[in-house]
Amino acid sequence: MINYTKTFAKRLLKNVKTMKNLQKMPKKQSSARDTSHHSAKNARPGTSGSHKRTSSRTTTKQGITDKKPAKQSADVAITNFDQVNFLTVTDNQDGQRVDNFLLARLKGLPRSHLYKLIRSDEIRINGKRCKAHDKLYAGDVVRIAPVRLSVREAPIISEQLAKGLLARIIFEDDGLMVLNKPHGMAVHGGSGESFGVIEAMRMATGKKYLELIHRIDKDTSGLLLIAKKRSTLKALQTQFRSKTIHKQYLCLVSGYVNADQMNIDKPLLRYTLANGERRVKVAHPNEQKGDERAKPSLTKIKTLAKFELSGHPVSLVLAMPATGRTHQIRVHMAHIGHALLGDDKYQQNPSALAVGRLCLHAWQLELEKTDDADDQRPSRYIAPVPSDMTDMIPEDVLKLIKSQ
């Protein structure tokens, strides 16, 4: 009786354990997934379930994709923009700004989108965050996230425009081209411009390598330096950074400027309006707006003449910017109460004299000799004042300009 009871108790206990195990088992639909997860979790390094085996692959929410793209030279064009690209900077890009480096490789991408990519950490240098103005050096690795580029058709440059620009070349040798830029033409395409001076000059000359050494505003006329080879670009940009290039601008401003000479030493801060348009204002030192911070800015001015134009007091001013901030001369002159004639951005006086252009002309520029320049390259360049400005200036004042 005792043996029978013990045997019955053992069988009952075994049945209870079996029922509990059945209750713990997952549904058939998820059993395969759980089994594979369990196998991967317990797999040893080097086995088929190890995560280390997939380290050379890019994993997304959709699963495992192709292998991580290998690094490639920045001298080679990107062929697949749908993937992450890693570009190794060479001597040809050494010293170039991040935004200029990217613009040359992401053709068709609006500048506003490019800067958004940089701000949102989609662009990295050597694995670290960067800013648009950061410099690249040989050996740096630039990571570019996948981007969608619009197809931009090559600009159509009329024969008349091409000939007109070529006729504006003031000086040219094997490394440098000096152009007297017309007002109303941007120096490069983007921000609503299908092309600018640099794209037009490439087509007009048939030269693939032409690069802007510096920039001037779309509505400003005058001297613009263009590099025909990389060594000239680097040498002259170094001079701009070290402030050994001296620039002089002629401008017509509202009102009579009382001081014969003046230094306008006011920090400038860039900001963006609600419609996306860029503006600059005088700010307090270290004032910040978004990612932008106020930068020290100095403009030296000299009053050359005062006269009336259509019954309005006007001054002819020689402006010499010691720094190269966006809209620097325009904002500084407006700040002292003498906005430039034709300045629709910073002229606050609704009764100011209306003229047909922004009266700002990049008149003279002086640079140092560079290692690649021969003895024939001059150090000083002068761009003749355009007729749409000279028509506003009295004859005796024009003679004064020529004597400077």
Helical packing angle, 159-166 and 197-205, nearest 10°? 90
Helix boundaries (H) for 195-305: 197-205, 230-241
Count H helices and E strands in the chain, helices first. Answer: 10, 20
Compute the distance between CA of residue 179 and CA of residue 182 in angstroms, rounded to an integer.
9
H/E stretch holding 288:
strand 288-289
What pLDDT, on the 0 to 100 scale, is given for residue 286? Answer: 85
Tens of pLDDT, residues 310-344: 999 999 999 999 999 999 999 999 999 999 999 99
Q: Is 80 exceeded by the pLDDT of residue 190? A: no
Q: Which residues contact 376 (CB under 8 A, 6 or more apart)?
A: 173
The proportion of the chain whose per-residue pLDDT surpasses 90, expressed as a percent, equals 51
What are the strands, taking DSSP E only, across 149-231? 169-172, 176-181, 211-212, 221-227
In this prediction, residue 50 carries a pLDDT of 39
Domains and CATH numbers, the chain: 72-144 (3.10.290.10), 157-242 (3.30.2350.10), 244-403 (3.30.2350.10)
The whole-number pLDDT of residue 308 equals 96
pLDDT digits 0-9 by tens, 218-234: 999 999 999 999 888 88
The pLDDT assigned to 192 comes to: 62
pLDDT, tens only, 52-105: 333 444 444 444 444 567 789 988 888 888 899 999 999 888 888 899 899 888
Confidence at 179, pLDDT banded by 50, 70, 90: very high
User: For residue 32, is pLDDT > 50?
Assistant: no
What is the Cα 151 distance to its own chain's centre? 20
- 44: pLDDT strictly greater than 50: no
- In this prediction, residues 368-389 reach a mean pLDDT of 81
Token output for 82: 């749908």
Which backbone phi and psi does 233 adopt, to 5 degrees?
Answer: -60, -50
The pLDDT value recorded for residue 62 is: 44
pTM of the shown model: 0.70
| Phi, then psi, of 32 in degrees rounded to 5 | -65, -40
Is residue 371 classed as helix, strand or coil in its secondary structure? coil
Write phi, then psi, for 90 (nearest 5 degrees): -110, 180
Residues 6+ away with beta carbon under 8 Å from 283:
267, 268, 269, 294
Active site residues: 217
pLDDT of residue 13: 64
pLDDT digits (tens, 9 = 90+) for 124-161: 999 999 999 899 999 999 999 998 766 555 567 788 99
* Residue listed under structure tokens 């395969």: 32
